[in-house]
Structure formats: C-alpha cells, structure tokens
Amino acid sequence: MTITKLAWRDLVPDTDSYQEIFAQPHLIDENDPLFSDTQPRLQFALEQLLHTRASSSFMLAKAPEESEYLNLIADAARTLQSDAGQLVGGHYEVSGHTIRLRHAVSADDDFATLTQVVAADWVEAEQLFGCLRQFNGDITLQPGLVHQANGGILIISLRTLLAQPLLWMRLKNIVNRERFDWVAFDESRPLPVSVPSMPLKLKVILVGERESLADFQEMEPELSEQAIYSEFEDTLQIVDAESVSQWCRWVTFTARHNHLPAPGANAWPVLIREAARYTGEQETLPLSPQWILRQCQEVASLCDGDTFSGEQLNLMLQQREWREGFLAERMQDEILQEQILIETEGERIGQINALSVIEFPGSSTRFLANLLALAALCILAMVNSPTSNAKRSLAAISMRKG
C-alpha cells in the first residue's frame, strides 16, 4: 500500500495565486451582468418567461423559499422587463351600493399600478387577493398583491400555496382566465354588493425546494410539465482567476446590497477557506446569499468601516466556534477524563481508524471526530437529547457510521 503524506496547504483552496484579484475594489454597477454570469440558466428561464410568446405563464424555480432568494430573482426579472412602468389596472367608483369599474387614467387610481415585479414569501388570502370592507354602510375595496403585479410578475413561495390549496386554485384560475372575480372568502357570508370583474394579466414564478416542487408536481402534474423550469445554482466551481473574481464580485454585491461591510483585501483568503469548509470541496464556493449574509452580519459588530479585515473575520470565526462548541468539548472532556473508555491498543481486522464529520440534529455545528469514538459520542448525545426523535436519529447515525 502506498502512503502519500499531504501538507496542510494541499487540503485548502489556493489563495496565494489570486492576491491581485483580492486587492481590487470589486465595484458593481447597474449594467454589470453579474446575475447572468453566476446564474445563466435561471437568467435564460426568466428571459423565456418574459418573452411575448412565452410557452407558459408559470415558472417553477428550485431555490430556498426565503426572502433573500425571492428578492434576487425579482431584481433579475426587473432588469429584463421591457414594459416596466406601463400604467395598467382600473378604478372602482363606489356610489352607495353600486360599484362600477373604469380604466385607469393615473397611477393614483385605487386599482392602478405601474407594471412591476412583486415578491412574497408568505401571504394570506386577504393579502394576495385584496378584500371588500364595509363600515357604517361605507364600502371600500382593498387591492391585493395580484393587483399590484397586474401586467407584471408575481413571485411567491410554494409552501404558501401548498399550505393553503384554495389560494393556489384561485390564483391559477386568475392567471388562466386573465380576469379577477370578487368572491367572499367565507362561503357563509357572501359579499354585500356585486363587484364587477377586473381584467388582470400576470405571470407567476413559484419558488420552492425539491420537496415542495415534488409535492406541487404531484398536485399539478400537467401544469408542472408545461411550466418553465430552472434552478438557482448554489455553488460556483473555481477553475481560473475569472471565476474567483466573479465570486468576489458576488460576495461584495450581496454585502453592499444589504448595507453590510464587504471583505477587505486580506479577508478574502480567510473567507474562501471558510467557504470551502462550508461546501466540503476545495474548489467549490457557495453562492448562497444566506451564508454570505451570515458571515458579513456577524463580523459587522467587530468593524467600524464598510470593509472588514482578515483579522476581524478570524476573530469572528473563533468566537462562533467557541459559542457553538459545547457538545464537541463535552465529548472530548468525557474521553480525556476517562468517563468513557475507548480501546486504543491491539489490532482488529477491518477496523477503520479515521476522522468522520459529525452532525447532530438540532445543532448548527459540524465537527470532526475519530470514528472509534463515534458510538460513545452518540450515546453521550442521546443522554442529553431532549426528544425521542433526536435519540432515534443519533442511534441511526451510530449504526451507519460504526
């Protein structure tokens, strides 16, 4: 058997070759094709959706159902809108118990809007479709998100519609019929007056993880097959200096867009090493805005300017490791204090003496442990686990790894 000894530098990303890139300011302007460079497939799907002869009014996007992702997709869609700012919608004139609809003549009309992109991660029926209110005999009509997105795009998380199927059925009906009908949310309490239907045309982007997409596909197999589909690519493969520069610009853009400090020149090597640790691959870096924002938000309290240094980032990572490291320290202390005895002498056929990455349910930290100590570690964690589900999960980990 050949044994190859590796230096620690062989296991971490090569950052020495990119010092000139790290020294650049990584400024982003409005015309920078950053999104299309990092998300070319998703960009192309948006272009297809916004085409005048689009194959479908619905688009399915695989991405985490969080506001950061929805807002990124919304910003990208806004840059592609050719009819942005066009006046659409109407105005309801209420006279006693008589309501009439006329075309919008200004943006001040109650149901008028300028063509735009609207994003929402969670909504109720009243927020999505608006409502009719009656107080002391006076009737007012309140617009919803579908009215705000009239003529444009509505971006919404799938979990909202899967948890409230009636919302989805009504939204699909509005998109297909290109008309909004006023109906009562409570069947036992019909609307006190008749409200004219309103022409309404919009396109819908449904964002969800694979589990949500699978549930939706089971519920709407025909629509899922016809809808435009794409994915948010959550990692970037580092192959050359251009890809490193692209990732640095993405991180800087994400930080600046959220009014957070961006990495300074000497912070990039530290951040890239932490990024590779997060992805588990030496030459793969995350594009996740949530991960990037977490690093910038936690280090923001340690710096005063609009950039942070490598020393400040290292300090933040050390503080995080200490804050989250109770379980790992407890395991090590139990072994060192001989509360848990592990056989370390002799030979066993088939024995594996290596490191394994341990991940506990309910804990945000992953850490390395000797495979020999894994069974003892799981037993210790099971004693301290508050729920039977967590104990069953740890037992399963012990059986799989041991």
Whole-model pTM? 0.84
Confidence band for 8, pLDDT divided at 50, 70 and 90: low
Averaged pLDDT of the chain: 87
pLDDT tens-digit readout, 140-174: 999 999 999 999 999 999 999 999 999 999 999 99
> Taking residues 14-25, what's their average pLDDT?
91
Query: How confident is the model over 317-372, as pLDDT tens digits?
Result: 999 999 998 888 887 888 788 777 666 677 766 655 555 666 767 766 666 655 44
Q: What's residue 156's pLDDT? A: 98
**What is the spatial distance between Cα 263 and Cα 296, in angstroms, rounded to a whole number?**
8
Domains in the chain, please, with CATH?
A: 8-26+235-323 (no CATH), 40-231 (3.40.50.300), 326-401 (no CATH)
With pLDDT > 70 as the criterion, what percentage of the chain qualifies? 85
| Contact yes or no for 334/380 (Cβ under 8 A) | yes
Q: Look at 16-30, 36-50, 166-180 and tell me which has the smallest mean pLDDT.
A: 16-30
Residue predicted with more confidence, 363 or 380 = 363
CB 212 within 8 A of CB 161: no
- Does pLDDT of 209 surpass 70? yes
The widest CA-to-CA distance across the chain, in whole angstroms, is 93
Which residues lie below 8 Å from residue 395, measured CB to CB, with a gap of 6+?
Answer: 378, 382
Please name the residues in contact with 284: beta carbons below 8 A apart, sequence gap of 6 or more.
235, 236, 237, 238, 276
89 burial via Cβ count (<10 Å: 0-12, 13-18, 19+): buried
| Tokens 């805005």 -> residue | 289
